[in-house]
Structure 1
Amino acid sequence: MPTGVALHDARRQLFEAAERVLVRDGVTGLTSRAVTTEAGVAKGVLHRHFADFDAFLADLVLDRIARLEAQSADLRDAAGSGTVADTLTRALITLFDPVVVAIVALVIARDELRARLRAAGTARLPLVGEGAAMIAGYLAAERDLGRIAPDADVDVLAPTLIGAAHLLFTDREAGPPEPGAVRTAVTTVLSGVMR
């Protein structure tokens, strides 16, 4: 590996490399060596920036959660525009990109990673829990605008939508579902509360 190469943002470069490895090779292929090789840096670079590989992985997940928080604000701001079903379909497709689906599998597979993330205050199942909170926030805003029923239980609807979408996106062999399949799941879950 080259040494002495200036890294402008080593953390970002390592995170992007880890995401590529994780999507391409899965949980078992994600090692510190695979990440540094993919990033084109010496293995020591990762250990100069992170205490150990699980610390690196925890920061990778926390970085994704921070991005999700920005998406959550944008989604709440979209309340009242377009249709609820179309807005939620786009949000779920964006949420369950291949990297997030792979990260969820990674979190499930690594006990130490889950423990570190819980200590950092993440949802019980990171990214999935934050995604449910994002959807609940949007649905609450739509309920306040009168576009869904005033008695709609957004705290039940949101995880139901997340669960349905997650199942659609987890088939790695078939690839991501068609947008129409996601929209069908959304309209089915919301059928009793739409105005």
Structure 2
Amino acid sequence: MPTGVALRDVREQLFDAAERILLRDGPSALTSRAVTDEAGVAKGVLHRHFTDFDAFLAEFVIDRVGRMDPKAAALRESAGTGTVEGNLTGALVALFESVAVAIVPLVTFRVQLQVRLRRTWPAGVPVLTEAVIVIESYLGAECERGRIAPDADVETLAPTLIGAAHLLFADRAGPRPERDAVRKMVATVIAGVVR
């Protein structure tokens, strides 16, 4: 990249490059050099915008978690429409076909990234913790509408759904689970509470 050329939305350009690498090659391939090469910028660009690579990764993770907000709103608004099983299946497939699955091992294996994230994220792996909150909120809305039993333990159902879905999608090298497999898991988990 020639000097003196203004970059537009450099942070987003770097985040998008990191996401492509993460999805294509996995967390072990995610280096500052790989990100800047993928983004088509000089290596120094990343370090002009972030104190170090872990600071970049922490902001990348938080940015990607923030992108869940519109999806969370859409899921909550779907309460009372369609079927509970169908709504949850769609939400889980969308979540786990995103960069979420690739972020989990990234956060798990980079201790300094965990330390940085703890400054703004008190517990858990950010993407999965946020997903639990989204699912819990949706289940609560369905309880209010009477489509789920009012005494349903949504605080246990939500992480159960996220954990089970994560297990279905965790193998990055194998084929993605069929939507029907996700639907079957959802139906099994919520069977005792759906009205």
1:30-69 Cα offsets, whole Å, 9 max, x none, are: 0000000000000011011111100000000000111112
What code does the residue aligned with 2:103 have?
I
Matches within 5 A, 1:143-158: 143-158=143-158
8 Å Cα contact 1:57-1:113 kept in structure 2: yes
**Structure 1 residue runs of 4 or more that deviate by more than 2 Å after TM superposition:** 1-6
Q: Is residue 2:49 matched to residue 1:78?
A: no
In the aligned structure 1, how far is the partner of 2:85 from the partner of 2:58? 33
What is the TM-score when the length of structure 1 is the normalising length?
A: 0.96
What is the TM-score when the length of structure 2 is the normalising length?
A: 0.96
Q: Which residue is 1:119 aligned to?
A: 119
Matches within 5 A, 1:1-195: 1-195=1-195
Alignment RMSD (CA, Å): 1.2
**% same residue:** 62
Q: Tell me, what secondary structure is at the counterpart of 1:181?
A: helix
Deviation at 1:121, TM superposition (A): 2.5
8 Å Cα contact 1:2-1:40 kept in structure 2: no
In the aligned structure 2, how far is the partner of 1:33 from the partner of 1:122? 30
Give the aligned length.
195
8 Å Cα contact 1:3-1:42 kept in structure 2: no
What code does the residue aligned with 2:113 have?
L
Against the structure 1 CA distance between its residues 24 and 33, is the aligned structure 2 distance closer, same or farther, given a 3 Å change threshold? same
Deviation at 1:70, TM superposition (A): 2.3
Q: Show structure 2 runs of 5+ residues with no match.
A: none
What code does the residue aligned with 1:115 have?
V
In the aligned structure 2, how far is the partner of 1:73 from the partner of 1:122? 22
In the aligned structure 2, how far is the partner of 1:14 from the partner of 1:97? 21
In the aligned structure 1, how far is the partner of 2:4 from the partner of 2:97? 34
Deviation at 1:114, TM superposition (A): 0.8
8 Å Cα contact 1:18-1:35 kept in structure 2: yes
